[in-house]
Amino acid sequence: MLKNWFARLFKKSGTQTAEAPVWHPLVGESVKTPFSEIPEVYESVLFIASNATQAEAGFFRFKDNAEVYCDDAAVRPLADLLARPNPQMDWNTFLENIYGFLAYHREVFILKVPSRGQKALTRNLPAQLWPVNPAKCTALSYDSRGVRCWALQGRAYPAEEVIHIRYFNPSDMFRSVSPLRPLADLLQANKAAMKSNRVFYENNSQTPFVLATDKNLTKEEMKNIQQAWNEAHKGPANRGRTGFLSGGLKPYSLNTNSGTADFVENSKNTSERILAGLQMQKSLLNMTDTTNYATYMGQLRTFWQNVIRPMVRKVESALNAQVVRPYTREFELRFKYDNVEAFAADFGEKVNTAQKLAQMGWPLNAINDRLNLGFEPVPWGDEWWINFGLVPATQAGSFGAAEEEREKACACARTKSAADARKEWVWKKFDRRQIQLERLLAQKAGRFFMEQGSRLKRAAKNGTLDNFDWEKEDRSLEKMLLPVISDAVWLGINAGQEQLQKSIKDDAQAAAQRRYLGRVAGRISGINATTRRETEKVLTEGLTAGKSNEDIARELADTVLAGFKTRARLIARTESTGALNGGTAEYGAELGADKTWLTARDGQVRESHAAMDGETVGANGVFSNGLAYPGDPAAGAAAEEVCNCRCTILLGHK
């Protein structure tokens, strides 16, 4: 009745009934099951099936190319289906069947068992997936678009419930052709050679000979002689036993003729030709003793790239098209090659190349894309770097211009007074230290903001943004920045020693460092306070407007987190300037030295600071703008006087 129903269905849709060809044995009557009869076939197919499963599957989001793990609610149904495609198979067993059929038949069928959700039109995801042997599959009917109905193991299924993965076959648009069919003669020759070798072994591993006599022997006599000789000498257990001849019998060896010699010689090449037909190499199956480890790994990598990887891509594409995308278009299935042994050495070489490119100043994301390293892109990874100092290329122009102006300012140092020359020397020393510290702090702050942004977006999507742990964020930021700031204070103290050529006790230096770190702690926590205010504003407005968690996370990324690079550089310059000058000022205060405000004396100096150039105050005094030194983190200091400052101080002898 089911068959009649399908016939009526296809008749109405204008389809034609296919001839439903009978699947013939691969190599005729002589070798019906090459997989179990020919060792080269068995080992090759098993090698491909077991190796291809090393590529692990993962789900990736189209929007940002990020991997989504199985515990995510959006992909959990898909992950559960693939973890157990059917009651008899786990994911690895399922894939091993798929790859094995593809290697043996160059095609495979996967039956999709409809789920209740599919029948009720509530969820387009099958309940089970079953791999089917292509030898038991035929096309029942087709139309201009292809096969409309398949017969799998004698039962009819519409094409919508069948996944058909196949290789190109120019003579058949519906079916593939097994690589063993062109090798039919070779497989039969191989089997004949194995049979000949077995007989040779059972014949005491000796070439045939005859027992001859001039007498006429009856059939009974010949039978008795043959039986006696076999009992005494046939088989490997009797090898080497001395033979006694009587009655005029003499042994005559049968020389191997040219035809037999050709057969023996050809049988040596049969295995290699069978392996070549299956795209295998002898060394991969340990059929040679001359291959070392390096050669083996190189051939294995080539085999993966040319044979296994295209096969994995076919399976990946078919599962995405007929299982994943009907369920969701937000994600796709991808096979990862991180754990594949064949690519381990290749990955190491890529990392070495990546390191050299990074030293040349290449952006991290460009290196990742060019070498296909598989890392997720990072927001700061598109920045080019100037080689030696690793200065961002976008800043190179400004640094170069600033340096040019500084050089111009110092070009006439010989004609200047000793006091002016000393000022130039102090500022240039400060400038070199400040640039290095600014770069390091910018990297630290940028990394923190990127990680904090990921935490904030995750909390927004989960609806837990109102319970975000900001105290923990303060501790994380302090842990990231304070060690660098502490080192900067020590450099500032050393700068003061260079200026005054006097030393103070170590405990006094440590106390000076602690005093500065105590003052700067409040300013560091204020960095997160700004982020918190902006985040809470986005959250409040979003909830008031009835926006979803996804919309709030998107707006958070667009408004609060978008300018983290610029903000990181601003913080880095401000804190590096303050720490260096703070250490120098603390050192001068210990010795009671006066301090003089020095600017960079270029076009980037703000007007208020340019007017203060050369202003001198006492050791514990403050300048006319209310700061004890450039970058002073004192409470109540005007931001326009502190942020982005590149000024320093000159200590005077008392």
* 3 state SS for 601-652: CCCCCCHHHHHHCCCEECCCCCCCCCCCCCCCCCCCCCHHHHCCCCCEEEEE
Q: What is the pLDDT of residue 400?
A: 47
Alpha-carbon distance 10 to 144, whole Å? 12
Q: What is the pLDDT of residue 398?
A: 45
**What residues contact residue 81 under an 8 Å CB cut-off, 6+ apart?**
125, 126, 129, 323
Tell me which residue has tokens 């990181």: 568
Tell me which residue has tokens 């996967």: 110
The amino acid occupying position 17 is: T
Name all contacts of 350-354 with Cβ < 8 Å and 24+ positions apart: none
Q: What is the pLDDT of residue 49?
A: 92
Handedness of CA 372, 373, 376, 381 (dihedral sign): negative
Alpha-carbon distance 165 to 318, whole Å? 7
Q: What is the pLDDT of residue 182?
A: 81
Q: What is the pLDDT of residue 254?
A: 67
Question: What confidence tens digit (pLDDT) does each residue in 122-173 have?
Answer: 678 899 999 999 988 988 888 777 888 999 888 999 989 999 999 988 888 8
Alpha-carbon distance 65 to 70, whole Å? 16
| Residue 483 CB neighbour total at 10 angstroms | 11
Q: What is the pLDDT of residue 315?
A: 95
The number of angstroms, rounded, from the C-alpha of 78 to the middle of its chain's C-alpha atoms is 21
Alpha-carbon distance 15 to 491, whole Å? 85
Alpha-carbon distance 355 to 64, whole Å? 25
Alpha-carbon distance 213 to 221, whole Å? 12
pTM equals 0.51
Calculated CA dihedral for residues 410, 412, 416, 420, nearest 10 degrees: -10
Alpha-carbon distance 644 to 640, whole Å? 9
Tell me the CA distances in angstroms from 142 to 22, 110, 337, 628, one per residue in order: 17, 18, 38, 88
**What residues contact residue 109 under an 8 Å CB cut-off, 6+ apart?**
131, 132, 133, 134, 137, 150, 152, 162, 163, 164, 165
Half-sphere exposure of 162 (CA within 13 A, CB side): 26
Query: Are the C-beta atoms of residues 628 and 584 closer than 8 Å to each other?
Result: no
Alpha-carbon distance 447 to 572, whole Å? 12
Calculated CA dihedral for residues 348, 350, 355, 357, nearest 10 degrees: 170
Residue 127 phi, psi (nearest 5): -85, -35
Query: Are the C-beta atoms of residues 585 and 595 closer than 8 Å to each other?
Result: yes
DSSP 149-209: EEEETTEEEEGGGEEEEE---TT-SS----TTSTTHHHHHHHHHHHHHHHHHHHTTT---E
Calculated CA dihedral for residues 125, 126, 127, 132, nearest 10 degrees: -150
End-to-end CA distance of the chain: 112
Alpha-carbon distance 512 to 493, whole Å? 9
The DSSP 8-state label assigned to residue 11 in this structure reads H
In three-state secondary structure terms, 86 is strand
Alpha-carbon distance 212 to 467, whole Å? 104
| Residue 442 CB neighbour total at 10 angstroms | 23
Q: How many distinct helices (H) and strands (E) make up the chain? A: 22, 17
Question: What confidence tens digit (pLDDT) does each residue in 315-338 have?
Answer: 999 999 999 998 888 889 999 887
Low-confidence ranges of the chain (pLDDT < 50): 1-3, 5-25, 258-259, 261, 388-390, 396-402, 406, 409-415
